[in-house]
Structure 1
Amino acid sequence: MGALISIDYTNDFVASDGKLTTGEFGQAIETEMVRLTNQFIDDGNYIVFAIDCHDDTDKYHPENNLFPPHNIFGTKGRELYQGLNDVYQQNKGKDTVYWIDKRHYSAFSGTDLDIRLRERKIDTLHLVGVCTDICVLHTAIDAYNLGYNIVIHEKAVQSFDQVGHKWALGHFKNTLGATII
C-alpha cells in the first residue's frame, strides 16, 4: 500500500516572490503536483503534506544561518502554492489527508510520520515537492533507512539548483533503489 508525501510546495519555495523560491522550476511542476494529489485522493490513498515550519526568532535552528527566513509560522509564505492549496483546502479534515509541521529537512525528523504510516500498513512512499536535493532527498534517505519502498515522481519534484536536482534523481535510483517515474 502506498502514500503520497507532498513536501514543501509552499509560496515561499515556489511563488515568484517567495523567500527561498525555486521560481519557474518549481512553478513548472504545479499541474503534476495537483494531478497526482487529486489522483491519490480519488483512489482513497493516504496523503501527507510535510511542510517546513520555522520561527524566525529561533537563534538555535541551523537553517537560520544557512538560508533567509522562510516558511515562517502564520505567514502566507507557508501556505501551499496556488492549485495545490485549493486541493488541500477542499480535502483537509478527511482522515486520509494529514498535515505535518516539520522543523528539519526530512519529513521523518521529529514527527510522527513513521508511526502513522505503519499504523496504516503503508510500505511504499511516493515523494513529490521541493527541493529535490534537500528536503525530498533527506526524506527519501530516512524512508530508505526505515525500510520503505520509494517512488519519485520526476515530473513532480524540482529545485532551485539544477545540478543538485539531477544529482539527487540519480542518487534516489542508484543509491536508495528508488523507482523513478
Structure 2
Amino acid sequence: MSEPALIVIDMQNSFLHPKGENYYASAGETVEPVRRLLDAARKGNRLIVHTLDRHRRGLIDFEQKRLPEHCLEGGFDAAYFEGFGPLTDNPREVEIVKRRYSAFFATDLGLMLRENGVETAIICGVKTNVCVRATSQDAFANGFRVVVPRQATNSNRANLQEASLEDIDRYLGHVVELDEALSQLAGDANG
C-alpha cells in the first residue's frame, strides 16, 4: 500500500469566515468534508499537514504583485478557521506556513513526506484553482501520487473549479469521491 498523508490547504478565517478578507460563500462547502478527512487521518494515525497562507507585515512579498496584501501574520485572517489546525497532542500533525500558492515551494514539505515514508498526498482545502492546484502540481513534480477528493475542495468560480479538477485528474493525479479518500486514509484501499 502507498502510505498516504493528508495535506489540508488554507482552512483559514480569510477564506471561510464571513468576515474574512477573501471569504466566498461556497468555501463553507469544504468544511464538513475536510473535517471527515481529518477524522479518518487521525484514526488511521496518518501524517497530517496543515498549511497556512501567511505573510509578513511591513515587508515586500512578491505575491503582492498579483494579489493585494492578505493573511498577515498575527491577524484574524491568517488564523485557522474554528475547528481546524494541528492538534497539540498529536505529533503526527504539523503546520507548514507558506508564502506562495504551493505548500512545497520554499518549505520542507517534500523532505518531511519522504522521510516519513509517504508516497501519496491526499490534498484538500481551498482554493482548487490556486493553492490546491499549485500544491498538486508540485506534489506530482516531487514524485508523490496525488489524490484530490472532489467534495473537499472548491473555488469561488465554478468554471475554474471544474477546469482545475479536470487538469489535476488528467495530468497530475486522481480526483476521487470523498469516500474513496476516506478509505485510503483508513487503510482500506491500495494507493
Please report the TM-score for the alignment, with normalisation by the length of structure 1: 0.91
Structure 1 gap ranges (5+): none
The structural deviation recorded for 1:144 is 0.6
Alignment partner, residue 66 of structure 1: 66
Structure 2 gap ranges (5+): 178-191
The structural deviation recorded for 1:93 is 4.3
Q: Percent identity?
A: 27
Please report the TM-score for the alignment, with normalisation by the length of structure 2: 0.87
Is the 8 Å Cα contact of residues 49 and 96 (structure 2) preserved in structure 1? yes
The structural deviation recorded for 1:29 is 1.4
The structural deviation recorded for 1:103 is 1.0
The structural deviation recorded for 1:71 is 1.3
Alignment partner, residue 139 of structure 2: 143
Equivalent-residue separation in structure 2 for 1:166 and 1:55 (angstroms): 32
The structural deviation recorded for 1:79 is 1.5
Asked if 1:41 is matched to 2:42, the reply is yes
Alignment partner, residue 2 of structure 1: 4
Between stretches 65-74 and 125-134, larger displacement belongs to 65-74
Asked if 1:17 is matched to 2:19, the reply is yes
**1:156 maps to amino acid:** A
Alignment partner, residue 103 of structure 1: 99
Equivalent-residue separation in structure 1 for 2:84 and 2:10 (angstroms): 11
**1:111 maps to amino acid:** T
The structural deviation recorded for 1:62 is 2.5
Alignment partner, residue 134 of structure 1: 130
Name the SS for the 1:108 alignment partner.
Answer: coil
Structure 1 vs Structure 2 CA RMSD:
1.3
Name the SS for the 1:175 alignment partner.
Answer: helix
Equivalent-residue separation in structure 1 for 2:45 and 2:126 (angstroms): 24
The structural deviation recorded for 1:56 is 4.0
Is the 8 Å Cα contact of residues 92 and 98 (structure 1) preserved in structure 2? no
Is the 8 Å Cα contact of residues 147 and 173 (structure 2) preserved in structure 1? no
Q: How many correspondences in the alignment?
A: 175
Q: Deviations over 1:143-179 (max 9, x none)?
A: 1111110110111101112211111000011111324
